């Protein structure tokens, strides 16, 4: 199911891209702007990774708009840019909040686009995602947001109704993931 979709995207993506996302997510506000305002400005099957240069602030959108680096294609120049930047600044892998006792690793979905973009390389995003975040997949760093991740994925599926007319039923899920979706339909809440 994903193979033909990926091949179609690869045929239409600008050849000078260095990082291409096939699966991506964001909060609902950011997804709404990305899907309904930003993405339609591009004629092909992809759009440029949203950054401040895309006038996000006009829509009260800030920061890393899209995240979830769970399905991507990176060319050697993009990979080299990431490795080079992190080699020169190992601390770029770490962060520590005000009340945290120790440093923790930054999520790769924050590091990748910043390092590739800072190297002046092009990042593209598939307008129609090929991969989606599993329902109630346990986050190791943001567990309290697991239900919100599901709401965002559900929003994304509904927005892609021509490609995914049946929502979650069009996504390959394990039996336990399917039960999570069924429970959400029954009680109206995301929980495992």
Backbone torsion region of residue 167, taken as left when φ is above 0, otherwise alpha when ψ lies between -120 and 50, otherwise beta: left
Backbone angles phi, psi at 112, to 5 degrees: -55, -55
Q: Which two tokens stand for residue 151?
A: 């709401």
Model confidence at 138: pLDDT above 90 = no
What does 74-120 look like in DSSP terms, one character per residue? E-HHHHHHHHHHHHH-GGGGEE--TT-SS-EEPPHHHHHHHHHHHTT
Which of residues 17 and 51 earns the better pLDDT score? 17
In this prediction, residue 161 carries a pLDDT of: 79
Give the DSSP letter of residue 161.
Answer: T
Closest residue by Cα to residue 135 from 76, 84, 85, 177 = 177
Q: Which two tokens stand for residue 67?
A: 């995240």
Model confidence at 100: pLDDT above 90 = no
The mean per-residue pLDDT over the stretch 27-55 comes to 90
Model confidence at 1: pLDDT above 70 = no
Q: What is the mean pLDDT of the chain?
A: 88
pTM of the model as a whole:
0.88
Cβ contact 128:5 at 8 Å: yes
């Amino acid at each position: 199911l994903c193979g033909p979709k990926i091949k179609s995207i690869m045929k239409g993506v600008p050849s000078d891209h260095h990082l291409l996302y096939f699966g991506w997510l964001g909060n609902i506000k950011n997804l709404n702007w990305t899907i309904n305002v930003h993405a339609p400005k591009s004629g092909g099957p992809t759009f440029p990774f949203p950054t401040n240069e895309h006038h996000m602030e006009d829509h009260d959108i800030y920061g890393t708009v899209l995240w979830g680096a769970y399905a991507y294609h990176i060319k050697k120049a993009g990979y080299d840019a990431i490795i080079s930047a992190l080699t020169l600044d190992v601390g770029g892998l770490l962060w520590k909040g005000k009340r945290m006792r120790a440093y923790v690793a930054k999520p790769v979905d924050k590091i990748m686009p910043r390092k590739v973009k800072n190297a002046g390389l092009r990042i593209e995003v598939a307008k129609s995602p090929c991969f989606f975040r599993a329902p109630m997949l346990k986050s190791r760093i943001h567990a309290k947001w697991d239900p919100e991740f599901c709401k965002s994925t559900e929003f994304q599926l509904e927005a892609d109704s021509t490609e995914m007319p049946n929502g979650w039923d069009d996504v390959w899920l394990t039996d336990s993931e399917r039960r999570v979706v069924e429970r959400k339909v029954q009680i109206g809440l995301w929980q495992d």
